[in-house]
Structure 1
Amino acid sequence: MSRIFLSLGIKRFTSLSVGVLSLILTPISVAAAERIYFSVNTLRLSLGIEALELFAADGTINKELEFYLQGISDEDRARFRTALLRAYQINPVQLSRFFRTPTGEAILKNIGELIQIQGGQNGQYAIRGALIQAASEPEGLTILGFLQKFPTNIQLDTNKILLAVRWIENLVQANQIMVQELDKLSEKEALKEQILDYSTLPDIRKPGQWGYQQQRLTLQDPRRQREFYVDLYYPQHWPETKIPIVIFSHGLASRPDDYDSLAKHLASYGYLVALPQHPGSDFSQVQAMLQGYSSDLFKLSEFIDRPKDISFVLDELERLNQSLFGGRLNLERVGAIGHSFGGYAVFALAGGQIDFESLQRECDRTIWSPNLSLLIQCRALDLPRQVYELRDPRIKAVVAVNPFNSGIFGAKGLSQISIPVFIIAGSQDPAAPLVLEQGQAFIWLMTPQKYLGLVKGQAHINFSKLDAGTQSLIKSFIDLTIADQRLIDKYDNAMILSFFEIYLHDNLEYRSYLQSSYADYISQKPFELYLINASSSADLESIFKQFDLDF
């Protein structure tokens, strides 16, 4: 067992660490590592870096390495060798800047609990030195290069590594089970619903009758000394009645126009959709960090500024309603949509309260967590510990897409939400995992009007908005089979429109669409869409209690 773990476990864990985190920082010029030390039970073992170098060069297995590879198949040996040499082309300067941010330093500290320097000291500084130097090599960053550049002998905390690997495996298994159970629960709900021939109903995946037009406004909030733009999408041909408003909060490192597909769709059905920029956590902020003009991946104040941006946009729309829109906006019937970090924002706007005690418990875990969104949430611990009143009573319903919330709100914080909520999750989300984030949030919500939609093959981000190089880099790190974004957009367009038609427009005709049988009707294999409502909450909670995720 120890031999298998060393040969495959090191490969697996180190590959995962490199793949998920893209670890880089400033170089340290000291002597290179010669050996890797670790222990299994009462045995203290080690392996020379030279043995791995020989193996990587031409497949030679010396006596020392042979001891650890006994019982390992030729196929797995070949995979191990490939993993040692696989190169990742990463810009070392930009990534070094990332790891100067508080989030980057937290990542290194967590990994340093597992990959230590000899003697048991946290290896974060050695890790950053080895990775920056290895990434600077012409061939790119490799695991072998990382080991060769490590400034001291390496000590692996095998107990913590095994716990981390076990946690990852349990999370993957729990995620798979939850997807299967959501399929069953969705089917169970569909059997209770009225049988309809959806082919005879209007296809709400297609654009509506009103068309759309677009304009951009630049807003200034003097109280916060904050300037940002907002993209507005609204009907090209206005309905005779007042139209509701939907505001969209984009994700971390994103832009408002990344979400224009849904905005255009809703506008064509008679909505005004506002997509504000969040300048402290948008694409331009990340670019400023990568270019060396900022030391933050995102500003700490964004936990407060994002919800306040939404409320300020509503204030401005109210002020401009007569002059710009002829008084045709209904500012008492507002919906909010948020993706990822924006999902946090709309939960806060809906009445969710930051629970610092819950967040502290989650962030105090000593074992590395595969929930990457928790690293973002833990930054909120640097905020003043006070009650933040971020709820906006004008918002009557919210949609949270791939939201993170488990630590920052917890069960107590989310239980304060009383308005309708629609959570949309993806089965392939490595940043905010279904089980830990959206699944728990659905259970914790106490509002009777709650829905959980799952898209198989959705992976947190819109890959179609990434440049080719970024897409290739991500796919080289993480093996994901993802759904086509055009299919995801059709799912979102139909389900979110139905939700807002019911809870903003009081249009009960759309209840036929916001149910499991319709989700099944528009699903396309292998990337099915499942939908459940509050009636399945207790069943989902019982399923969740079976998972072993308490580390």
Structure 2
Amino acid sequence: MRYALLGLVSSTVLAATPARAAEEIFFLIGPFKIPLRVSSLETFAKDGKIEKDLALFLGRATPEQQAVFRKVLTEPAKVDPVLLSRFFYSGIGEAGLTRLGRGITLDGGINGKFGLRAAIVQAAFEPQGLTLLNVFKKFPTNIEFQGAVILGAAEVAEKLIRATEVLTNEMKQLSAKEAASAPPIDFAKLPDLRKPGTFGVQPKQVWILNDSSRNRQFYVDVYKPQKFRSGKTPVVVFSHGFASRPEDFSVGAEHLASYGYVVVLPQHPGSDKIWINEFRQGLHRNTFDVNDFTNRPKDISYTIDELGRRNQSEFQGLLNLESVGVAGHSFGGYTAAAIAGAEIDFENLKKECNKEFGGLNISNLLECRALELPSTTQTKFRDRRVSAIFVANPIGSATFGRLGLSKIQIPILIAGGNYDPAAPFVLEQARVFSWLNVTEKYLVLIEGQAHVDFSKLDPGILQAIESVDKVSLPSPYLIRSYSDSLLTAFFETYIGNRPDYKSYLQASYSAFLSQGEEFKVFLISAASADNLAKAFEDFRKFNNL
């Protein structure tokens, strides 16, 4: 059913002037309740005059700081008000508002979720646009800023930043220690895995698959080598992330295909770029279909089934479908973990989603939607044909938990970045690594890597990020060279029947790749897992995290 009409009606209602608007903002700090009139903010924004109540907050601010605050109050955010309304009525949007509403409340400390939604959407429809001042003016009651909650969240956020710095340094030291204890290897004399292989790559093919058992149709991008290996051909299935698409990972797929692999990238229709575009048009209520927690791993299995059906006719029976590799990014990392044996743990998910400051792990906004699934939902998706997984910036720590992830018993490489705000390295990759019981496990940290490829963002966003003082970003080509080489080394070792490539899966190779680079890559193996876990646990104890 289309939601365009509903969105239009809702927007019209929300745009109406409220019967009562916020007159005062109260800052609750301990036993104190400090008032600030909204009209004082309005006067200051208009002509710079500081009323008596505002002087309590701005009395010691420099003229430059005051000018910045005036700009913050009045500068409009560039948003589509209709799209904004749709987002805040989606599952993820409501969850975000609920978390925000714990610190910004209605009179009496009532969660400000609904007031925030009304105020933000109404402000977005104003001629002046969505400004902070307009949000205050449109709030339906007086506003209370809960100091304990806000300061608590800020304190936890600061601790997470420090924890990331501590674990980055720990990864650096552990990787150096592993490299020093291993026999020396001259990687300059070995094949350079950053470069394409020798098998060539055919033009991409696109298959349309139809799983009638689930009434689900999706396309698959297929990359084949120009010439095939002798013997069996290794296969890797790649699962894209939320709001993404198979085409976004064509470079990595082509790189692996050039080493003699058949690489297939299935679309996940309920959580891909097409779905999010349809959401923007008002065709869906939510940013993704909650059933994709179960559909995604089934898409992987069905894709492998299809390869089996086509093996003789299109590949002369050369495909090795008894030992398949799966790679995934973000939500695709969840997908790969599920197909590798990780089991959904609803009890753990409830606990994580109810944590006071759980919203600081942005991936929880996505993961917590799994609680909408019925209690009878399938929680096990292990496909025995899958023999190794490579996951980049994966989410799933809340959905699977320690118990669910302990069920993975195949080789796994987890890669993350210390600039990732969506799936923080500390809360996702590093924590998950310590929970895995498998001995063939590797953890990779790429300095400066974020959740997305910044080169694919709007140029204005990239410019804004780079304009921040002391913030620089690594070249996307550098990050790609790290990921392509490790992707190749991992799957050659565990899927390609090339055990000699295991020499690349050690800390000394990450040091070799990092030579002369400002942003480095660090790799550790299972041998360092306990030390990394101890470093994080010590930080938690000493910092009450």
Structure 2 counterpart of 1:159, one-letter code: A
The Cα of 1:550 is off from its aligned counterpart by 6.7
Structure 2 counterpart of 1:290, one-letter code: R
Structure 2 counterpart of 1:101, one-letter code: S
The Cα of 1:208 is off from its aligned counterpart by 0.6
User: Is this contact kept in 1: 2:387–2:411, CA < 8 A?
Assistant: yes
Provide the rounded CA distance (Å) in 2 between the counterparts of 1:225 and 1:473: 43
The Cα of 1:285 is off from its aligned counterpart by 0.6
Matched, 1:392 2:383: yes
Q: Please say which of residues 124-133 and 53-62 is displaced more in the overlay.
A: 53-62
Matched, 1:513 2:496: no
* Alignment correspondent of 1:17: none
Provide the rounded CA distance (Å) in 1 between the counterparts of 2:470 and 2:222: 37
Matched, 1:532 2:524: yes
Residues 312-343 of structure 1: CA deviation (Å, up to 9, x unaligned) = 00000001001011111110121001111111
Residues 488-530 of structure 1: CA deviation (Å, up to 9, x unaligned) = 1111100110011111123122122211111111125322111
User: Is this contact kept in 2: 1:28–1:129, CA < 8 A?
Assistant: no
Q: How does 1:363-374 map to 2 (within 5 A)?
A: 363-367=353-357, 369-374=359-364
Residue 271 of structure 2, aligned match among 281, 291, 308: 281
* Alignment correspondent of 1:418: 409
SS of the aligned residue for 1:281 comes to coil
SS of the aligned residue for 1:280 comes to coil
User: Is this contact kept in 2: 1:235–1:270, CA < 8 A?
Assistant: yes
Q: Please say which of residues 372-381 and 55-64 is displaced more in the overlay.
A: 55-64
Inter-CA distance 477–302: structure 2 relative to 1 (3 Å threshold): farther
The number of equivalent residue pairs is 527
Q: How does 1:199-218 map to 2 (within 5 A)?
A: 199-213=188-202, 214-218=204-208
Residues 52-94 of structure 1: CA deviation (Å, up to 9, x unaligned) = 2233334332222222234555554444344333432111111
Structure 1 counterpart of 2:386, one-letter code: I
Q: Please say which of residues 348-357 and 514-523 is displaced more in the overlay.
A: 514-523
Provide the rounded CA distance (Å) in 2 between the counterparts of 1:104 and 1:354: 23
* Alignment correspondent of 1:445: 436
Inter-CA distance 150–473: structure 2 relative to 1 (3 Å threshold): farther
Q: Which runs of 5+ in 2 are unaligned?
A: 1-12
Matched, 1:466 2:453: no
Structure 2 counterpart of 1:144, one-letter code: L
The Cα of 1:480 is off from its aligned counterpart by 6.0
User: Is this contact kept in 1: 2:414–2:443, CA < 8 A?
Assistant: yes
| Paired-residue identity, % | 45
Provide the rounded CA distance (Å) in 2 between the counterparts of 1:99 and 1:345: 26
* Alignment correspondent of 1:357: 347
* Alignment correspondent of 1:180: 169
The Cα of 1:355 is off from its aligned counterpart by 0.8
Structure 1 counterpart of 2:445, one-letter code: L
Q: Please say which of residues 103-112 and 519-528 is displaced more in the overlay.
A: 519-528
* Alignment correspondent of 2:17: 29
Residue 495 of structure 1, aligned match among 483, 486, 500: 486
Provide the rounded CA distance (Å) in 2 between the counterparts of 1:103 and 1:432: 15
* Alignment correspondent of 1:544: 536
Structure 2 counterpart of 1:286, one-letter code: I
Q: Over aligned residue pairs, what C-alpha RMSD do you find?
A: 2.2
Q: Please say which of residues 381-390 and 396-405 is displaced more in the overlay.
A: 381-390
Structure 2 counterpart of 1:429, one-letter code: D
* Alignment correspondent of 1:113: 102
* Alignment correspondent of 1:307: 297
User: Is this contact kept in 1: 2:420–2:451, CA < 8 A?
Assistant: yes
Q: Please say which of residues 428-437 and 147-156 is displaced more in the overlay.
A: 147-156
Residues 203-247 of structure 1: CA deviation (Å, up to 9, x unaligned) = 110111011122000000010010000001110122222211100
The Cα of 1:198 is off from its aligned counterpart by 2.0
* Alignment correspondent of 2:154: 165
Q: How does 1:73-84 map to 2 (within 5 A)?
A: 76-84=65-73
User: Is this contact kept in 2: 1:88–1:473, CA < 8 A?
Assistant: no
SS of the aligned residue for 2:422 comes to coil
* Alignment correspondent of 1:264: 254
* Alignment correspondent of 2:116: 127
Inter-CA distance 439–73: structure 2 relative to 1 (3 Å threshold): farther
Structure 1 counterpart of 2:314, one-letter code: L
SS of the aligned residue for 1:329 comes to coil
Matched, 1:155 2:144: yes
Residues 12-59 of structure 1: CA deviation (Å, up to 9, x unaligned) = xxxxxxxxxxxxx94463133221012211111111122222333343
